[in-house]
Amino acid sequence: MSGIGPRMEPLQTLRQFGQEKYVVVQAYILIQTEVGRSTSIVTEIAQIPGVTLAEDVTGPYDVIARIEAPSVDELGSGVIAKIQDVKGITRTLTCTVVKM
């Protein structure tokens, strides 16, 4: 590849979106669930394209998920919307990753 400026390496590519794109947006979603549902919710959201990690946690939230998408629009309309549709989720808080 030639051009002006440094060559930019992708954080990783997203094959699960059916296309080769650079990941430009990453976030963590903190999830509160109905009592006793966290394990089944972890299993379900781990299957959603764009979810790279889903785990049970302790504290005010029950589940944490790391998500990524090629754009903010795809993060919101694709990944976050699908997570919020999962039955048993009562509240979410999305924390976007920033590189400083």
> What CATH number is attached to the domain comprising 35?
3.30.70.920
pTM comes to 0.76
The domain tally of the chain equals: 1
Is residue 44 a part of any domain in this protein? Answer: yes
The per-residue pLDDT string of the chain (100 residues; one tens digit each, 9 = 90 and over) reads 334 444 444 445 555 555 565 668 999 999 999 999 999 999 999 999 999 999 999 999 999 999 999 888 889 988 999 999 999 999 999 999 987 7
Beta-bridge mates of residue 94: 29
Which domain does 57 fall in, by range?
A: 25-96
* H or E element, residue 28: strand 25-33
Distance between CA atoms of residues 76 and 74, nearest Å: 5
Is residue 5 a part of any domain in this protein? Answer: no
